[in-house]
Amino acid sequence: MEKLYSFFLEHPHIQTDTRALKRGEIFFALKGPNFNGNTYAQKALEDGAAGAVVDEPIGTEGDHIFLVEDVLTTLQQLALHHRKQFKIPFIAITGSNGKTTTKELIHAVLSSTYKTYTTKGNLNNHIGIPLTILSIQKDAEIAIIEMGANHQKEIEAYCTYVLPTHGIINNCGKAHLEGFGGIEGVRKGKGELFDFLANHKGIAFINSDLDYLINMSKRIQHKVYYGNQLGAFQTTIFQNDPLLVLEVDHSTLHQQKIFTNLVGAYNKPNVEAAICVGEYFKIPFDTIRNAIESYVPSNARSQLIEKGSNTIILDAYNANPNSMQAALENFSLQQITKKIVLLGAMMELGEDAIKEHQHIIEQLKQMHFSQVILVGGDFEHTVHPYRFFKHVDDACIWLKNHMPSNSTILIKGSRSMKMEKLLEVL
């Protein structure tokens, strides 16, 4: 490992895809169900890679070729070795809904004052997390690592090479029920972060408005609360039509308003988490507020888009029963007349899938939207009065011929449904 790490310090950029390779990067020949990176290693070297890490002989030897037992394990061990060089806060974030938005808001706040490195996009899995750690440079003052998971022991494994000093579980909802085995399984799996913090004297930031998080964190000695139940500040929704405006009542400050660029009351705890973390790291409130107000969401997460006479709320990065319900409730409260809902199906719900989709149907029936269009998956197996398409491409064709106008349109669905395609025709 020392030899590889020394080579990495000389060439501190890693690539796992030859199509994106830049000269001087180290190529890690990962394997997947349908590919074997070892077969591309020679081409990577010919294209200018500084070296290659492989777990099969490639017909080339030298000090720049590292033949290891398993490339993925080596990537994670290299990340751990790099992680151990830093004596700075490493903040781990996980949860069922809103963890990427929470991560982006916290990064906006902390980077206003500290040199902060964080997960790019949602590279929050067994490959993305070590790559994020290895992208952290010597000038780092704080690191933020997002952890996604869909089964038990996944968060536990990430913690072995992230070694978080601080952590947030923003919520535990009905996401990845199939892999976790129900809501209690979700809490157990996400709670592996709190287990690590408890065992290593770490610090947890806890939303005190969620009783189950208070219960899950009982073993943690060092806790910092946010939320109206136990937090140092109280937050209320001042406006939510369509952008969220919060009023913060702080014991040491007069009431302060934060004008966010976020759609949805469900983003309130995400903003509260960013305020809490910012204050913990001694950032003045005015700086925190300015950072939050400057943050503009992207990647189909609560984006507000104006197209012609229509206003579009694009919240199609992912969906599960909790986030779907929250988005619909928020949309139903908007003070506008013509509201159209375009919903894609939810995935990874296991044996509860059809029941959870039917619950969404029953909720829709109570909300009296101008129009509802359903796309794909288990919506096909529900009883409903709405227009249904098996594929988003079919919905696009229909919308071309039935173009809405002067409407506010919510687009929501699981990532695999590719609901953002609807933007191409709207």
pLDDT digits (tens, 9 = 90+) for 222-269: 999 999 999 999 999 999 988 999 999 987 777 899 999 999 999 999
CATH 3.40.1390.10 for domain 2-69: yes
- In the chain, residues under CATH classification 3.40.1190.10 are 86-294
> How far, in Å, CA of 119 to CA of 135, rounded?
9
In the predicted model, is pLDDT for residue 104 greater than 80?
A: yes
Neighbours of 188 (CB within 10 A): 18
> How far, in Å, CA of 360 to CA of 84, rounded?
46
3-state class (DSSP) for residue 14 = strand
- In the chain, residues under CATH classification 3.40.1390.10 are 2-69
- What pLDDT score was predicted for residue 32? 87
- In the chain, residues under CATH classification 3.90.190.20 are 303-424
3-state class (DSSP) for residue 194 = helix
Q: At what angle do helices 192-199 and 154-162 cross, to 10 degrees?
A: 40
To the nearest whole number, what is the mean pLDDT of the chain? 94
- What pLDDT score was predicted for residue 121? 73
Q: Please give the model's pTM, rounded to 2 decimal places.
A: 0.90
- Partner residues linked to 205 by β-bridges: 168, 224
CATH number of this structure's domain 86-294: 3.40.1190.10
- What pLDDT score was predicted for residue 241? 84
- Partner residues linked to 314 by β-bridges: 303, 411
In the predicted model, is pLDDT for residue 271 greater than 80?
A: yes
> How far, in Å, CA of 176 to CA of 167, rounded?
21
- What pLDDT score was predicted for residue 182? 82
Q: What is the pLDDT of residues 161-176, one digit of tens each?
A: 999 999 999 999 877 7
H-run or E-run covering 207: strand 203-207
Residue 408 burial by Cβ neighbours in a 10 Å radius (0-12, 13-18, 19+): buried
Architecture of the domain delimited by 303-424: Alpha-Beta Complex (3.90)
CA angle, residues 189, 195, 197, in degrees to nearest 5: 125
Nearest Cα neighbor of 102 from 168, 192, 200, 53 is: 168
Q: How many residues does the chain have?
A: 426
Name the E strands within 320-418: 339-344, 371-375, 387-389, 408-412
